[in-house]
Amino acid sequence: MTDAFPVVPSRPTVRVVHPCGGFDDTQRARLRKGVEALERAGCRVRWDATAAQRPQSRGYLAGTDSQRRRELIEAFTEPGVDVVWAARGGSGAARIARDVTDALERHAPRLLVGFSDVTTLIAAFTQRLGWPSVHGPVVTTLANRHLSQGAVADLDQVLAVLTGHSDALSFSPQAGEPLRAPLVGGNLTVLASLCGMGLLPTLPRALWVLEDTHEAPYQLDRAYTQLRGASMLSRAAAVWFGDLSPAPLSRTLRTLAADLKAPLYRDAPAGHQGRIAALPMGVTVDFDPARGQLRWRTDRAHA
């Protein structure tokens, strides 16, 4: 965990990786559009397009464990890379997370961007390496232009956070007291699946941001109960929920609020529908719900 977010140069070199789910023709087209969006925004993109052409291991992974593990380790150790950006979520990161963090233990931190199944890597980097990461859009998400397509990201906002031109974001004001805490979390059911693996953050009094998609209320309750009983979520300073569609958010939050003493908030810019913004995970943040503002300190020595 760090007290300041390490920013990168204004025109960062981005390495695109494929650590999770596999690709069909539609996903490959969306990935290419996302890469083009990064290039138009001024990023220097390093992308091996053949990685998205690999046969799907087990019928749903973007290559074998060995292929995906090797690609990730190379991305985090390759000279000149500023940001490692996940191509998509899906599944499979938990199969390689421990080996990857073991291999990176003696290397300097490098930022990872992603969400959904990338939650596994974000959590593992926080817990096992003490590295910050960014919960934000995967590259295929950058192809979305309308909410009907899923989550929509403002790439300018994401890059402003990465480069230190932004150290705050706004959300809908709601009743509550300000707090300072490390920011952790991600996809709820992915986090619950990590219980017992030694990958979950063990930071007490953290601000947990949680999102999920296509889970029935009872499935969200099951994952929340597991995470609450087996992790530091039980000692959270607060829980900040993003999108949970199609589950009805208000009713779900009322139900879950009865299970935890910590205050629960809504409208985190995180999830598979609606706005998805760059959130500095594993970093101490100032959270002010009444003002609808999240702020953090940046470390420009890394720029």
Contact (CB, 8 A) for 264 and 290: no
What tens digit of pLDDT does each residue of 274-290 get? 999 999 999 999 999 99
User: What number does CATH give the domain 169-300?
Assistant: 3.50.30.60
Question: What one-letter code names the amino acid at 158?
Answer: V
What tens digit of pLDDT does each residue of 121-165 get? 999 999 999 999 999 999 999 999 887 788 999 999 999 999 999
Contact (CB, 8 A) for 111 and 132: yes
- Torsional sign, CA 78, 187, 239, 150: positive
Could you state, in chain order, the average pLDDT of each consecutive group of 10 residues for the chain (303 residues)?
A: 93 98 97 98 97 96 98 98 98 98 97 98 98 98 86 96 97 97 98 97 95 95 94 95 90 87 95 96 98 94 60
**pLDDT value of position 145:** 85
Q: How far apart are the first and last CA of the chain?
A: 19
Pairing mode, strands 279-281 and 133-135: antiparallel
Each domain of the chain, given as residue ranges in start order, spans 5-167, 169-300
CA atoms within 13 A on the CB side of 1: 18
Cα 158 from Cα 9, distance rounded (Å): 13
**Displacement of CA 161 from its chain's centroid (Å):** 14
**pLDDT value of position 247:** 86
Which residues belong to the active site?
A: 116, 211, 272
Peptide bond into 246 cis (omega under 30): yes
**Displacement of CA 242 from its chain's centroid (Å):** 12
Cα 242 from Cα 274, distance rounded (Å): 9
Radius of gyration of the chain (CA): 18
Strand segments, DSSP code E, in the chain are: 5-6, 13-17, 44-46, 83-86, 111-114, 133-135, 151-152, 168-170, 179-187, 207-211, 238-241, 264-265, 274-275, 279-281, 284-288, 293-296, 298-299
When the candidates are 3.40.50.10740, 3.60.110.10, 3.10.180.10, 3.20.20.70, the CATH number that belongs to 5-167 is 3.40.50.10740
DSSP per-residue string spanning 68-104: HHHHHHHHHHSTT--EEEES--SS-GGGTHHHHHHHH
Spell out the residues 6+ positions from residue 115 whose beta carbon is closer than 8 angstroms to its own. 89, 135, 136, 137, 138, 186, 187, 211, 270, 276
